[in-house]
Amino acid sequence: MKKKIALVTGITGQDGSYLAELLLKKNYIVHGLIRKSSSFNTGRIDNIYIDPHNKTNFFLHYGDLTDSNSIYNLINNIRPDEIYNLGAQSHVGVSFENPEYTSEVSGIGTLRLLEAIRFLKIKKIKFYQASTSELFGETYKKNIFNEKSKFHPKSPYGVAKLYSYWITSVYREAYGIFACNGILFNHESPRRGETFVTRKITRFLTRKKLGSKDILYLGNLNAKRDWGHAKDYVEMQWRILQQKKPDDFVVATGQTQSVRQFIDTSVKLLNMKIKWQGKGLNEKCYLINKGKKELLIKIDKKYFRPNEVNYLKGDASKAFKKLKFKPKFSFKDLVRDMIINDLKLAQKEQK
Ligand code: NAP
Ligand code: GDD
């Protein structure tokens, strides 16, 4: 049987790396778009790249979501069956500092891909857009959000992604392109970028466990997120494109935890004892060790966003039913997976 060809943007990122592994397991030929950087940015996919079995079915191409020509030429050359648009400036906090760039990449970048598909008239292409729970943003009476919920983004990133969501939907309706949105709630893993809050916490606490003297600075501890595992969620990205008709799906666990609860769970798994003291910007967390109190976490205003999404919880009933979505990782499993990985990293660093 002829192998399917996939193009993945954002292949060097958390999801891109897991998705590439999944597609290769499913016998796809995988092409990834990577951007030129002055230092190596392929750490998450080096394992795939150096494996001799992948010599004839894994290819990387320089390009950029801000560069229409690179996108058009790549799609024209490889003529993929499926395109997964995972590339983005994906950090909400950074989007307040670089709003125009974020819009270019995470918003107009999607249009560039869809325009290439339209111009090239490659009918077989199925297109996946990495949409996000940041589309919902505002909380209306502690809602649980589904595909029909009202959008109300609260950051330049959320607005850029809202553009991508709608342009994907418009190209589906106007040109009959098989284009889908996966509206994914937060998902983490040992491959999560270290500036996102979960990984920032697990990297810090595991180093602390091995004796580091550092202090962790965080922002809003009360924000709540619906955290799943990236490995579960990339499987859903693939399943969305295997449906008979193009459609949009919320992918979430239906559980929500605060940043503080994420810390508490991590600490328990590490067999550490902590104590929270104070309020607001003066709140502090102490490590209690052999009767001694050591400062562990402090609040730093700079990690608060100008506009915050305080609460996210998703209702993935449609995905449960149609995609047969059943997350393998519970919240605790997710934190454990990250802790185990980061403990090993911390041990390596010590050596
Ligand atoms: P990530 O780890 O930040 O990866 C982002 C990827 O985009 C990286 O490969 C990055 O390349 C690439 N990229 C950035 N700017 C680019 C540009 N100008 N041109 C081409 N590629 C560019 O993100 P993730 O967590 O894997 O998320 C994947 C996608 O899902 C993103 O679109 C994100 O917005 C969306 N999403 C994520 C979550 C989540 O909780 N993880 C939830 C909902 C939606 P470099 O490696 O060179 O930086
Ligand atoms: N990054 C970060 N760093 N966040 C902090 C910190 C900190 O030091 N302290 C508190 N937080 C809070 C943020 O204010 C936010 O409320 C929450 O922790 C989660 O922040 P992030 O981990 O940066 O993720 P996010 O929810 O803003 O965005 C992620 O999920 C979206 C889906 O809802 C990203 O992956 C987005 O790309 C994705 O679309």
Three-state SS string over 108-139 comes to HHHHHHHHHHHHHCCCCCEEEEEEEHHHCCCC
Ligand 1: centre distance to CA 2 (Å):
30
Whether the CB-CB separation of 126 and 241 falls below 8 Å is answered with: yes
Pocket lining: 116 vs ligand 2, CB cutoff 6 Å: no
Mean pLDDT, range 88-115, rounded to an integer: 98
pTM for the structure as a whole: 0.98
The closest residue, in CA terms, to atom 4 on ligand 1 is 13
Which amino acid, 156? P
Residue to mutate, 42, 90, 329, ligand 1, most ligand atoms under 8 Å from C-beta: 90
Q: Which amino acid is at 125?
A: I
Amino acid at 118: R
Going from the Cα of 179 to the center of ligand 1, the distance in angstroms, rounded, reads 19
- With the most atoms of ligand 2 within 8 angstroms of its CB, the residue from 89, 132, 164, 196 to mutate is 196
pLDDT score of 100 more than 80: yes
pLDDT for the residue 143: 85
304-320 residue pLDDT tens: 999 999 999 999 999 99
Q: Check: CB of residue 241 under 8 Å from CB of residue 128.
A: yes
Report d(CA 152, CA 155) in Å as an integer: 10
Neighbour tally for 38: CB within 10 Å: 5
Q: What is the mean pLDDT of the chain?
A: 97
Percent of the chain predicted with pLDDT > 90: 94
On the question of pLDDT at 18 being above 80, the answer is: yes
pLDDT band for position 138 (cuts 50, 70, 90)? confident
Q: What is the mean pLDDT of residues 125-144?
A: 90
Q: Is the pLDDT of residue 140 over 80?
A: no
> Which residues make Cβ contacts (< 8 Å) with residue 338, sequence separation at least 6?
188, 189, 190, 192, 198, 199, 202, 266
**pLDDT grade, residue 1 (50/70/90)?**
confident
Beta carbons within 8 Å of 67's beta carbon, 6+ residues apart? none
Two tokens at 65? 């979501």
Ligand 2 contact via 230 beta carbon (within 6 Å): no
Residue with tokens 């970048």: 109
Q: Is 197 in the pocket of ligand 2 (CB under 6 A)?
A: yes
